[in-house]
Amino acid sequence: MAASVPTFDDIAQRVLDWIASDPEPFGALADDAPFDALARAVFAFQYEASTPYRAFCDRRGRSPGRVTRWQDVPALPTTAFKTVDLACAPPEKVFRTSGTTQGGERRGRHLVPRLELYRRGAVAHFRRMVLPDGVRPRIVGLLGSPDLLPDSSLTQMVEWLRLEIADGDGEYLVDADGFDPPRAADRIAELSRDGRPLCLIGVRVVFTALLDHCLAAKRTIELPADSRVVDTGGPKGGRTLSDAGFLAACWIVLGVAGYHCVNEYGMTELCSQFYDDTLAARFAGESRPRRKVPPAWLRSVAVDPATLAPLPDGETGLLCHVDLANAGSIMAVQTEDLGIVECGRLRLLGRAPGAEPRGCALALADLLAVTA
């Protein structure tokens, strides 16, 4: 490795230092230069450290000397994580996708060499977006525990939140037998009695099962004041409430107002997450439509589905994310999620319909061609 290329320890520390500085999320008036410089340094490191990624970049005519802005860093499609192990250092932990789309044998694998990057970033951005008022709620997971789901990146994040934000106070309501809505409702009601705010967090399909049960049984649970509801993506399948139906049911069943309900957007292939900004905006005295906000160490751009060329702000395309917390794996990740990026904030429009978008398919073909 050339002497001018930083080591993984150097790169990881630079990202950790930025996270520790508690920077504001990127917006229209923010200075993009610090992110751009660090992103290009991470790219230079990953180009040298990952043989398959370097070959992929060379095939696309991109090298550190030819990339002059973060938007031009070559991105690997999420499907690449199903076929190639992508890491720039030995992993401390391997997270796996749910595998519900193509079967368990095609589960994606995210090898994470420095868990501290994931932990510090996840906790810091959760505090900013979900707890802007400094509340320290009990964490109640509507998902399996780390013992039950040891390779789930979502469960790992929730466990860190339980330990660091709730001082270890909390539990998980999905066990080896699955999710029992009546029993979960009883337990949530019991946990609410001491008045400590709750933060219910989990995948929407499980929330839907709980809310459907309570609505059918005409049961309400009065959560303590300042409680939060955080719903995430997760395994496909099963009934899920629409956004409007979910917010209405949370108010009817749990007494939680819509501005205390925050949707999270994340994926196994990224170490960082996006959150609705409705709660942060309320405590800042602002009113605006719900949008997903990333942390300062992540940028997104919508790209053309066929060419993967970056699109201007406000145009619909496939979302590509550049996450500095992925310093030890692959920073630039191309998704099949449709959306609009406006001043750094996301408006999600769902998955691209039909077959894998042409640009993603060609990118995967390029990767397979150099790793065969």
Residue 32 or residue 146, greater confidence: 146
Across the chain, what does the average pLDDT equal?
Answer: 91
Residue 370 or residue 83, greater confidence: 83
* Conformation bin of residue 343: beta by default, left when phi > 0, alpha when psi is -120 to 50: left
User: What's the whole-model pTM score?
Assistant: 0.93
Q: List, in order of start, the domains of the chain with CATH numbers.
A: 8-89+297-371 (no CATH), 116-292 (3.40.50.980)
Instruction: Record the tokens describing residue 268, joined without a space.
Output: 């196994």
Give the pLDDT confidence score for residue 159 in this predicted structure.
98
pLDDT tens digits along 15-47: 999 999 988 887 654 678 899 999 999 999 999
Q: Specify the range with the lowest mean pLDDT, choosing from 42-51, 92-101, 182-191.
A: 92-101
Give the pLDDT confidence score for residue 315 in this predicted structure.
97
pLDDT tens digits along 322-331: 999 999 999 9
Check whether 123 has a pLDDT greater than 50: yes
Four-point Cα dihedral 273, 277, 282, 284, nearest 10: 80
DSSP state of 250: I
pLDDT tens digits along 335-369: 999 999 998 999 999 888 776 777 787 777 877 77
Check whether 304 has a pLDDT greater than 70: yes
Mean pLDDT of 2-24: 87
Cα(217)–Cα(172) distance, rounded to whole angstroms? 23
Check whether 186 has a pLDDT greater than 90: yes
pLDDT tens digits along 274-286: 999 999 888 888 8
* Beta-strand relationship, 345-351 and 332-342: antiparallel
Cα(133)–Cα(352) distance, rounded to whole angstroms? 36
Give the pLDDT confidence score for residue 348 in this predicted structure.
93
